[in-house]
């Protein structure tokens, strides 16, 4: 195995229910007596959270796509080396709200960044480290945006048009079908209660070998 702990990432379009269901995953892990930490990207450390503010706020000057991409990987380098890797090395499970699949989806499919360039940065920053399990909450972006819009003003990335989020959704679906062993795709159009039941069943199935359960 690449590390002692277990690395779970959570993905989806805007408003797909990541934050809501991270709580469900936390409950599940607690019931299994698993020692875990929750974190997020971009962010997760003091410095990386400053980069997050820079990425999400509106600026007088338009941010270049390459600038956005490099800032995301700069935040990721800080987060990985000061938080994710040390926690995994201690044997803790790390539950991270978004990770590099988001970069392929948002900067790659959404903004049109070259996926080979993203792959080079991924190798540079992460080496061989990849998530052990990625849960994607799949939802029509029209529903996700409607759910999320109830929160008020949109940040810089949330302000993209519907086509942008449709490309993001499609990219997640494509990555998940290419790497089906790592992924668990949850239909997030169902009620919160239904999503929670489906998610718990999927988690049980995906991680039972790590729990020594049937």
Residue 42 CB neighbours (<10 A): 26
Q: Pick the closer one to ligand Z5A by CB: 191 or 214.
A: 191
> Binding to ligand Z5A (CB under 6 A): which residues in 149-168?
150, 157-158
Contacts of 193 (CB under 8 A, 6+ apart): none
69 in contact with ligand Z5A (CB under 6 A): no
Q: Pick the closer one to ligand Z5A by CB: 180 or 194.
A: 194
7 in contact with ligand Z5A (CB under 6 A): no
72 in contact with ligand Z5A (CB under 6 A): yes
Using CB under 6 A, which of the segments 59-67, 84-92, 98-106, 122-130 binds ligand Z5A? 98-106
141 in contact with ligand Z5A (CB under 6 A): no
CA–CA separation, 54 and 95 (whole Å)? 23
CA–CA separation, 79 and 120 (whole Å)? 18
Q: Are strands 133-138 and 36-40 parallel, antiparallel or unpaired?
A: unpaired
Residue 9 CB neighbours (<10 A): 24
Using CB under 6 A, which of the segments 81-89, 100-108, 170-178, 201-209 binds ligand Z5A? 100-108
97 in contact with ligand Z5A (CB under 6 A): yes
Which of 24, 29, 80, 102 binds ligand Z5A (CB under 6 A)? It is 102
- Helical ranges in 100-161 per DSSP H: 100-102, 115-126, 141-149
């Amino acid at each position: 195995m690449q590390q002692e702990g277990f690395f779970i990432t959570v993905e989806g379009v805007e408003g797909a229910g990541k934050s809501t269901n991270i709580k469900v995953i936390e409950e599940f892990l607690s019931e299994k007596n698993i020692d875990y930490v929750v974190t997020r990207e971009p962010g997760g450390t003091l410095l990386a959270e400053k980069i997050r503010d820079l990425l999400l706020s509106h600026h007088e000057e338009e941010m270049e796509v390459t600038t956005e991409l490099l800032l995301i990987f700069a935040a990721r380098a800080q987060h990985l080396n000061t938080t994710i890797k040390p926690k995994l090395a201690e044997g803790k499970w790390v539950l991270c709200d978004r990770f590099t699949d988001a970069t392929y989806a948002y900067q790659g499919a959404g903004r049109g960044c070259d996926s080979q360039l993203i792959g080079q940065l991924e190798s540079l920053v992460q080496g061989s480290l990849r998530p052990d399990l990625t849960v994607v909450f799949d939802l029509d972006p029209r529903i996700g945006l409607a759910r999320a819009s109830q929160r008020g003003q949109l940040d810089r990335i949330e302000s993209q048009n519907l086509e942008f989020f449709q490309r993001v959704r499609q990219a997640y679906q494509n990555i998940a079908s290419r790497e089906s062993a790592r992924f668990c795709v949850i239909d997030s159009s169902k009620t919160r209660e239904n999503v929670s039941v489906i998610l718990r069943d999927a988690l049980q199935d995906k991680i039972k070998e790590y729990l020594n359960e049937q």
